[in-house]
Chain A
Amino acid sequence: MAVEVDQEVSRLDPSIPLQIRDLTVAYQQRPVLWEVNLDLPAGSLVGLVGPNGAGKSTLLRAILGLVEPISGEVRVFGKTLAEQRGRVAYVPQRESVDWDFPTSVLDLVLMGTYGKLGWFRRPGATERARAMEALRAVEMDAYADRQIGRLSGGQQQRAFLARALVQQSDLYLMDEPFAAVDAATEMAIMQLLRSLRSQGKTVVVVHHDLHTAPDYFDRVVLLNMRVVAYGKVEQVFQKENLQKTYGGRLTVLDELSEAMRRRGVGP
């Protein structure tokens, strides 16, 4: 098991956005994630890549406390997640949500302010202003009053991202934000993520497309129920690692090698 940890760091380092130690998650007695160890630095775009069923979404959910791990710990900026809720933003999979729900785009984005407002306080003018700003950042301000069911896939994803932006967090966890969106939206999202990185934020993205991973991310976690490799994308995307992650899917790998060669990356 080749685990590349970029820097040797001590535990509970408050400057490290995300530290995961020995995380093991099981689903009904079946282990789906084994002994995950990761340190993710600030100001980086990290891709979680692996085949279907590799546990990518599960890893995100375990970090957020949506599933209970059997063992292991997660530390966000040196503290537990519960203490740092305000600094973490989650963008779930688009299909996990009922888009028929009666709400407008603006109200959806305002949900990002609920964390700081709590159960009882209403979003006020400040919150609405922040929400509109986030909508402008994703170029959806014209759609503020539209019912969310009447948005296209790409627009829905942008609205979700705007909601995350409003949370003004330092760590962003996104589950398949590029799934089934049009090319224009994909580019827009990528731009957004890069600007987040340049602000020193950490963005962790579950990504399904091996081909685009090297373009999008600085670091990559190759995941297949355990961390096969982690580190800077150029170092990690080796044939050996990819083989271990994807098993006998040689055609994929060949295509990938070709793609990487074209971009001047790789062996």
Chain B
Amino acid sequence: MAGGVGSWGRSVRVGSGPGLRFSGGLGVGMDLGQEGATGAMACDRRVFMGAGVSLLLGGCRSQESMETSTPAIVATVGMVTDIARAIAGPGCAVSGLIGSGIDPHLYRPTRDDAIRVLKARLVFYVGLHLEGRMQQLLERSGVAGEPFAIGEALPKDRLRLAEGSEAPDPHVWMDLSLWILAGDAMLQAIVERMGEWVEGATERWGRLREQLERLDRFAMECFSTIPEPHRWLVTSHDAFGYLGARYGLHVEGIQGLSTDSEAGLRRIRGLVREVVERRLPAVFVETSVSSDGMEAVLQGAASAGHRVQLGGSLFSDAMGPEGTYEGTYVGMWDHNITTITSALGGRVPEGGFRGWSGDGS
């Protein structure tokens, strides 16, 4: 069967865009997952049954050379990749698997991802079921690279629990103070594992750490200017729990901790009711999640007489496009803070975080 539909192992170039490889999927209700796009090629494949066998047997040629002399560190989401890259410095090849705009809850690893993970010296992931569909791959990667679950390295008492369940909220990068602790742990792991390749790591992390602490204060200041009745953050899914807890905002998501669930009518209606009663000025969508749910809330509130605005698109589980300011952890926060604050009626200093802290970094 695999041989029938094009040759499943060959790569196809389409214009100047990323090369694509044939991938297949069957079954109603199959979740397509999303493609991995990083600085390297965007290859994508879905591994299943017979196709998996033929894929492994077929050759996968990629532009990027897998056999490099510099050791590789692999991370999953951009928030982790960014920190790892900053710490490790130029001596290592740091790459991320889950790119900008892509939902890590639903992401399925490709064959390329598997190869990269297996060849890396060190693998960082958030864990706590954030990368829900990469579980198997990450657990097995202990062969070459050591998988390091950042979420599990954090102090348990700092982890927020979702309502009515035992599972902790995995969106730990939404609390700057918590993510700083994560960075500390990452520094240790990198220095231990990568040795002389990462000379100067401690200094680099020191600088970044300071910046993040400033960012934390910036966030505190901005969010505190939001007037009391508007201190409600309504987004597409429950990603901002830590942010809400740290900076004093009430957080509501249409979907729960994971986007892998269908929203219910009652939830929508409940949110509409809240939004209207509070006369909330704005609600927010997210770059990596469908905006349909929020559209329903917007229109529901409008028809009930309250024209709530779409305050903007926030970076929740993914950062901005690679190479842009929003494509960095700091830039992602800067964007989120300024967007939320101004939309909810608070005051944002001129020039955002960069303006406030007086320099460009």
The short answer to whether A and B are in direct contact, CB under 8 Å, is no
